[in-house]
Amino acid sequence: GQQLNQSPQSMFIQEGEDVSMNCTSSSIFNTWLWYKQDPGEGPVLLIALYKAGELTSNGRLTAQFGITRKDSFLNISASIPSDVGIYFCAGQRNSGYALNFGKGTSLLVTP
């Protein structure tokens, strides 16, 4: 399947800073999802987006489904050390289909 373009590849920030990462695709997806993966664990769903233009928050996390349905971004505000991990975007063509993942953004947060 198609792999999505995710950037940046890695980020090294100080605690308290805001973080932004994004994902683009050459084709349309009807669902965009953002996952966090800790070392040696499976991905955990952070936010799911189902409508073009949708802006959804989950605590300090905010994500938007691009109006063209070919992109999405994730913002993390006021980062804390436990935000460390790898963040993956994923696109899903339709309900019930497998996910196409981005390459991941590795986030490091220093106290």
The length of the chain in residues reads 111
The answer to the question of residue 48 lying near other proteins (CB under 8 A) is yes
The answer to the question of residue 14 lying near other proteins (CB under 8 A) is no
The answer to the question of residue 85 lying near other proteins (CB under 8 A) is no
CB of 33 to other proteins, least distance (A): 8
CB of 30 to other proteins, least distance (A): 11
DSSP structural state of residue 99: P
Residue 81 has φ and ψ, to the nearest 5°, of: -55, -35
Give burial (CB, 10 Å; 0-12/13-18/19+) of 55.
exposed
**Alpha carbons 95 and 31: distance in angstroms, whole number:** 8
CA 19 remoteness from chain centre: 11
Site pattern 55..84 for other proteins (x: CB under 8 A)? ------------------------------
Q: Which of 32, 34, 87, 88 binds other proteins (CB under 8 A)?
A: 88
CB of 16 to other proteins, least distance (A): 27
